[in-house]
Structure 1
Amino acid sequence: MQNYSPYYLLLFVCMGLMFLNALKKDKQLVHYLFVIFCGSLCMVGAQKLTAESIGQYKYLLGLLTCATCNVSWLIARALFREQNPISVRHIAFAATVAGLIIFNQTWHYLASLNSQPLLTSDLMWRLKQGVNEITLLLSSSILALSFWEAFRGYSKKTQSQKLQSVTFGSAWALAVFNASILPKFIFSAAETELYNPIIITSSALLIVFAMQGVMLLQATAANKQKLYHNNDSKTDIDDVKASCDSAHQDQVPPELIAGIDELMNEQQLFLQTNLKISDFAQALKVPEYKISRAIRYHYKVANFNLFINQYRVNYAKTLLASEQAKEWSILSIALESGFSSLATFNRVFKSIVGGIPNEYRKQKSNYNNVKTC
């Protein structure tokens, strides 16, 4: 006789994680998808536990199990793709798989009622077999795509990102092996049926915990990055580690300096509002700590924010002294120079120049008038 207690574990764990992520304040796309995924797994556990007591209605409950492997693929994209992780075509693909699962469950429900002669026709039977094959093919493809998403561009990832990829990919591989391959080697057909609750639950929880683990790793990395930008006096942890490990930390590759110079002087990237050190790292395809090290040891500037603000202030000084921009408001010059607000512009300008922008403009205007006379 089967032991259904593992399904209780699946139900309670997924329900707990579902509410934990649903109640999270700063939710992102991946959290919404994870809630849907956990909810669907809860329905899997509920369907297995109530199958004998509710009879054919278990197939109606099965309609809500349509967001498992398809949504897990969307989660993989949301976790490992930074730009445009999910588009309309991805949602359409996932919805197609969900529709096939719903068709299959509806078929079984109608067949259990034994009130639809059409279901027993040769045409409908062939349709059912075809849908089963398509569902199996698409589900297998989605499993492969989810695994591939984790390791796409692995060689270019940071150590933290590589850890996330290995965590996610290893859990997927182990779950698939545990669910489909391992039982064939160690169990007979009867034993596989007997231990099926343990097999299904352990495989599902492997994937669930891997997803939650990667989300926690990414949240930790994001918090460290936020702390770095909020406190200019503190250096990035990876930067400290890299600097300490290097015997020649003041030596910066010339090609990196050339790349930074091109971004600042030719492309004028500093005019972009809310510019981050990660934008530089992505543009130059180098780790962030190398950008930070170059700024401190080559340009002799304390941190990234000050480095960018110096360029912005110099650009603003040019505009303030320009005849073409003499009718511009200080706010317009601030925004044109890459600052996000007038208050920030005034504060940064005064800290670097020693006076506020309006005073600087008046000084330049008086100087130009005297020079003209």
Structure 2
Amino acid sequence: MSIDSAYFLLFLIALVAMMAQLLIRPVRTENILFAILCASLVMVALQTLTAQVSSPYQYVFALGTCATCNVVWLISRAMFRDSDSIKLRHYIVAIIIALLVISSRSIDLLVSVEWLSQDNISWLKRSIGEVTQLLSSTVLALAFWESVKNFSAATKPAKVQRVLFATTFFAGVFSCTVIVQGFISETEQSTLRPWFVVCSAIAIITCIWMVLVLQHLERKAVASVEDVANEPQENKQDQLLLQQLESLIIDQKIFLRPDVKMIDLANLLSVSEYKVSRIIRHATTANNFNQYINRFRVEYAKQLLIEKQSQHWTVLVISMESGFASLAPFNRAFKAQVGCTPNQFRSRHLIDSLDKPLPA
């Protein structure tokens, strides 16, 4: 495998890992930061691949390589600390490092287009590089420290995740620095160092991806256990709310009001509209509020259709007396619930009553 193929593999893995974060729900801070890290590594791969063919785009891609070690530090804090582990000061440090990297890459871009002279700007490039190196080394050490800090107090699965990250991260950084600079000759460094860099980058993002997936599965398992534990209490509360809702509708004949809305019932029960909607959808066979309230109206209309004092009423009058605003919705709701039209229902009842024998 050539070094170009290795960087292309890094490009693919980083791109897939970045897109995979779109599937995580709910999205957490570490998922967003990991997506940013992967995007920056995609730029690293593109910069190297375009440099191999002497493309001017390598300097443009280089501007996007500003979120590597600084973002790894933030990810490490987010993974191995509480949810509120990253403060504004941590983001500021990471942004400063990113701006330094962008400044250095911008100088290279301006020199490549001959807007700046390399001789006149070399002191600035060297100064930025030294400060960037110092800050980057510091955050790399902090990223490793986050994984081993409070190790003894962590749970067994968390210890496995910490060891996995710490081992992979240390091996990657150690190989790219100590081994390359201390055990490889200067003539061979230009050839071997890219291999160490790309292999370490692939190993680190794969490791972080694995830890994020393991933590996500743990949170889902805990949430499932909590849902099961809370389910009996929630069911009891739902049944009580449903009883209060139906008592309110029947006792006060609220269904006879054509303009009644779900918010009206929620206000009378002193609960949110969402709770009323959830109860109707989950605790009854109705799909929505209109279907639910129309069932009370249809039952009331059935009584009017067969009672003697309302037998001379037209279907239109009965629909309006039952709470429907017009005849068409009444006919649709009645047929959906009873299986026939109001006129057919009335006719069948009349025929049945005539067929009954007179009392002796």
* TM-score normalised by L of structure 2: 0.61
Matched, 1:48 2:48: yes
Encode CA deviations 1:220-262: one digit per residue, 9 max, x unaligned.
Answer: 221221122122399xxxxxxxxxxxxxxxxxxxxxxxxxxxx
Amino acid at match of 1:135: T
Q: What is residue 116 of structure 1 aligned with on the other side? A: 116
Look up the SS of the partner of 2:63 in the other structure. helix
Give the corresponding residue for 1:128.
125
User: Offset of 1:185 from its aligned partner?
Assistant: 5.2
Counterparts in 2 of 1:64-213, with a 5 A limit?
A: 64-117=64-117, 120-121=119-120, 124-184=121-181, 186-213=183-210
2:214 maps to what in 1?
A: 217
Counterpart of 1:259 in structure 2 is none
Q: 1:147 to 1:330 in 2, by over 3 A?
A: farther
In structure 2, what residue type is equivalent to 1:228?
V
Aligned partner of residue 217 in structure 2, secondary structure: helix
Deviation at 1:24, TM superposition (A): 3.1
Question: Which residue number in structure 2 is paired with residue 232 of structure 1?
Answer: 229
Instruction: Map Cα deviations across residues 121-171 of structure 1 (whole Å, 9 max, x no partner).
Output: 3xx432222111100000000101111111222121111111111111111
1:156 and 1:47 map into 2 onto residues whose CA distance is 42
Residues 2, 194 of structure 1: 8 Å contact kept: no
CA positional deviation for 1:31:
1.1
Task: Give the conservation status (yes or no) of the 8 Å contact 1:6–1:201.
Answer: yes
Equivalent position of 2:30 in the other structure: 30
User: Which residue number corresponds to residue 10 of structure 2?
Assistant: 10
Aligned partners of 1:57 and 1:109 also within 8 Å: no
Aligned residues of 1:80 and 1:149 also touching (Cα < 8 A):
yes
Look up the SS of the partner of 1:232 in the other structure.
helix
The residue identity in structure 2 corresponding to 1:99 is L
Q: How much identity, in percent, do the aligned residues show?
A: 32
1:10-29 C-alpha deviation (Å, 9 max, x unpaired): 01111111111134343221
| Cα deviation, residue 331, structure 1 | 8.0
- Residue 29 of structure 1 aligns with an amino acid whose one-letter code is T
Which shifted more, 152-161 or 9-18?
152-161
Aligned equivalents of 1:23 and 1:115: distance in 2?
44
Q: State the Cα deviation string for residues 329-367 of structure 1 (Å, max 9, x = none).
A: 9988x9xxxxxx8999xxxxxxxxxxxxxxxxxxxxxxx
The residue aligned with 1:350 is none
User: 1:276-299 CA deviation, whole Å, 9 max, x = no partner?
Assistant: xxxxxxxxxxxxxxxxxxxxxxxx
In structure 1, distance between residues paired with 2:26 and 2:123: 48
Query: Counterpart amino acid of 1:156?
Result: A
Q: Which moved more, 1:154-163 or 1:191-200?
A: 191-200
How much does 1:85 deviate?
1.8
The SS at the match of 1:84 is coil
Determine if contact 1:22/1:32 at 8 Å carries over to the other structure: no
Runs of 5+ consecutive residues of structure 1 not aligned to the other structure: 235-302, 310-328, 335-340, 345-373
Q: Distance in 2 between matches of 1:170 and 1:330?
A: 60
Shift of 1:181: 1.8
Report the residue type matching 1:140 in the other structure. Answer: S
The CA distance in 1 between the partners of 2:45 and 2:208, in whole Å, is 19
Residues 233 and 107 from structure 1, CA distance in 2 versus in 1: closer, same or farther, beyond 3 angstroms?
closer
Structure 1 length normalisation: TM-score?
0.59
Q: How many residues align?
A: 246
Verify the 8 A CA contact 2:168 2:203 in the aligned structure 1. Answer: yes
Once residues 124 and 181 of structure 2 are traced to their aligned partners in structure 1, the CA distance between those partners, rounded to angstroms, is 29
Amino acid at match of 1:167: L
Deviation at 1:189, TM superposition (A): 2.2
Q: Which has the larger radius of gyration?
A: 2
User: Distance in 2 between the 1:35 and 1:343 partners?
Assistant: 37
Please tell me the residue identity of whatever aligns with 2:198.
Answer: T
- Partners of 2:72 and 2:124 lie apart in 1 by 27
Q: Give 1:59's aligned residue.
A: 59
8 Å CA contact 1:70, 1:94 repeated in 2: yes
What pairs with 1:309-324 in structure 2 (closer than 5 Å)? none
- How is 1:297-308 mapped onto 2 (pairs within 5 angstroms)? none
Cα separation, 2, equivalents of 1:141 and 1:331: 58
Counterpart secondary structure, 2:229: coil
Mapped contact 1:4–1:197 kept (Cα < 8 A): no
**Is the 8 Å Cα contact of residues 18 and 38 (structure 1) preserved in structure 2?**
yes
Rounded Cα–Cα distance in structure 2 between residues aligned with 1:24 and 1:160 = 20
Name the SS of the counterpart of 1:153 in structure 2.
coil
